[in-house]
Chain A
């Protein structure tokens, strides 16, 4: 059973389009995250949700809108896609944030290519 799953695995789209990436975790965790890994392989946090509430927004453009319908799901919607949005997006989850050293579990990633 996959702990953190993401769909789709690959996404190729044109500039200007709107797309969504879905994430689900079956670990019963309270906190979910979105990270972006760019072409230089730097991994950077974008958003964090705890029990459906936004707790971190790392100065990500407004075109990116996370949505958490319940604590097991955190979807990422991107409007008006730009070339610079091309990256691998990772979803992650953890129990009660990173309190006292809790680990994060990462999904397999979604490779987004904007043409």
Chain B
């Protein structure tokens, strides 16, 4: 499984944008980039995923580098509820499982 590297922790302020980076230099051409997050005492929840192009949904945006060796999850206006561990996961086409790394613990200051 291709590996991802994320900072252990990040901190931001409420109502400001947050950019969560992820490096995946060994990504292959058919690997999807998934982001999940885990709020305290809850199960992980899907945030967004992409393959090559940037993606937007109601929760976040995903910016994928042109060479696909890195990506950035963007929370446009962080709220206290966004405090969570964010996982960047590569999943091969027709993958049967998610392989979680250590993720980035995001703290949001009021």
Which residues of A line the B interface, CB within 8 A?
4, 31, 33, 41-45, 48, 55-56, 58, 90, 92, 97-101, 103-109
Contact = CB atoms under 8 A, between A and B. Distances in A.
B97 A33 contact: yes
B95 A97 contact: yes
Contacts of A42: 100, 102
B91 A103 contact: no
B21 to A, nearest CB: 20
Contacts of A100: 32, 93-94
A8 to B, nearest CB: 15
A75 to B, nearest CB: 17
Contacts of B44: 43, 90, 92, 104, 106
A97 B95 CA distance: 7
Contacts of B36: 104
Nearest to B41: A109
A45 B98 contact: yes
B42 A98 contact: no
The majority secondary structure among interface residues of chain B is loop
Contacts of A56: 96-97
Interface of B: 32, 34, 36, 38, 41-46, 49, 51, 85, 87, 91, 93-100, 102
Nearest to A45: B97
B30 to A, nearest CB: 10
A92 B43 contact: yes
B6 to A, nearest CB: 14
B51 A101 contact: yes
Given A43-B100, A104-B46, A106-B43, A99 B51 contact: no
Given A90-B43, A103-B49, A109-B43, A98 B94 contact: yes
Given A43-B100, A97-B95, 8 more contacts: A44-B100, A45-B98, A48-B97, A92-B43, A92-B44, A97-B94, A101-B34, A105-B46
B10 to A, nearest CB: 16
A29 to B, nearest CB: 13
Given A90-B43, A92-B43, A109-B42, A99 B93 contact: yes
